[in-house]
Chain A
């Protein structure tokens, strides 16, 4: 039988408390989710049980370099998800913009940022998404762009809807946009999700809550930014992204600032 929200919420609370205790005892607040996170049921058989092998810094290793992308890998319309079909998609038009930085605060330049999302009704243009919300013939929900010299990216899209899933009874995902990012080194690879401020579904969602530290969770939530809103057109959200992992060269903190 599928677990209830109350059962999942109790597990979420237990994991948060466990992290809070570890931090209170002097531990480093974890930025990333543990791969073994029971409230997210699909993780049960899909996380390694043995510890990872720690690999020392080795600028000669392939992972300290990474794939490169260029102007041939994108088209002008890829960053505007509202203009990829003949008509306008339904929903609240938004701009999502920010910068991609490494942990030293240096901009990640000329790298690929990819996004995908549900439409305004909470439905993905994916055959396996059978949530009975309408597809939008004018919205696919896929975009990509390259960061500029300041590490900046920007997308125009519509605000995605919340949607149900089958982790437990009455499970709903808060609205989110999936992001995929490359850094200057393969070690900096990141796939994550951006959320919208003030969503009442946050406490119930085991995927967001898999990040058990509150400050780290807050880094997944964009900020409404009125300066990014455009008159008669769209509402603006700012979301900066910091890539973890060693960069191609060791970072000089705050260089370029």
Chain B
């Protein structure tokens, strides 16, 4: 096995490079079943983190994990961004938190068999990204991740319903209510 390239912090200045217009608009335009998932990222002092980058990846409603290209469609005429084509479901969102630490993703509900958005979080001060999951509608019975957790921590992975087709998923990096983060078995993890 080859030794992996180490991770390094995303730093404070990715904001003009990685986010793209419509990065959180995963659902096809005008889709009647679209949901919103939003939340704030908090640090160990309970302060919002205004320079985090949130990426989400999920199965399509039909269960497909094949994805589609076109999340950050580029315009070969101007060199700018064209925006998604409004039809294909890429399954991928990328949103920088705003000045108040908030991010919003508009997407389609994940399927009952894989009822979560996989969340990858980057930030200045975070030497290596963190994975978590935002389970929608309580997750599936017998889910291996949820059932491995004690009751008081399980709730940190459940997106809370805050209105029709609207969910809230806050991420706490440290301290009371600290979000459960996931280790997928990478070599450098202790």
Q: Which residues of A contact B (CB under 8 A)?
A: 28, 30-35, 37, 40, 42-50, 52-58, 60-63, 65-78, 84, 101, 103-105, 114-116, 118, 124-126, 128-129, 140-142, 178, 180, 186-187, 189-193, 207-208, 210-211, 215-217, 219-220, 241-246, 251, 253
Contacts and interface: CB of A to CB of B under 8 A. Distances in A.
Contact of B123 (A46, A140, A178, A211): A46
Contact of B184 (A44, A142, A187): A187
A52 B174 contact: no
Contacts of A45: 43-45, 47, 125, 173-174
A103 B6 CA distance: 12
A65 to B, nearest CB: 4
A180 B14 CA distance: 10
Contact of B183 (A43, A54, A73): A54
B141 interface: no
Contacts of A56: 144, 185
A72 B186 contact: no
Nearest to B131: A63
Chain B: interface secondary structure?
Answer: loop
Interface string B175-190: 1001111111111111
B69 A72 contact: yes
Contacts, number: 264
A77 B78 CA distance: 11
Given A34-B127, A70-B70, A244-B186, A207 B8 contact: yes
Nearest to A116: B17
Which label, helix, strand, loop or mixed, suits the secondary structure of the A interface? loop
A30 B127 CA distance: 13
Contacts of B71: 67, 69, 73
Interface residues of B, number: 81
B156 to A, nearest CB: 10
Interface of B: 1-18, 43-45, 47, 49, 55, 57-59, 65-76, 79, 82, 85, 90-92, 110, 114, 116, 118, 120, 122-131, 144-145, 148-149, 153, 173-175, 178-190
Given A62-B58, A68-B69, A191-B129, A103 B4 contact: yes
A216 B6 contact: yes
A70 B181 contact: no
A56 to B, nearest CB: 7
* Residue from B3, B8, B57, B118 having most chain A Cβ neighbours under 10 A: B8
Nearest to A245: B186
22 contacts: A31-B4, A33-B128, A34-B190, A43-B125, A45-B174, A46-B44, A46-B174, A48-B174, A52-B183, A55-B145, A62-B118, A74-B74, A118-B13, A125-B16, A128-B13, A129-B13, A186-B57, A207-B11, A210-B9, A220-B8, A243-B5, A246-B185
Nearest to A30: B188
B126 A35 contact: yes
Contacts of B57: 62-63, 65-67, 186
B187 A31 contact: yes
Given A32-B128, A32-B188, A37-B127, A65 B65 contact: yes
Contacts of B125: 40, 42-46
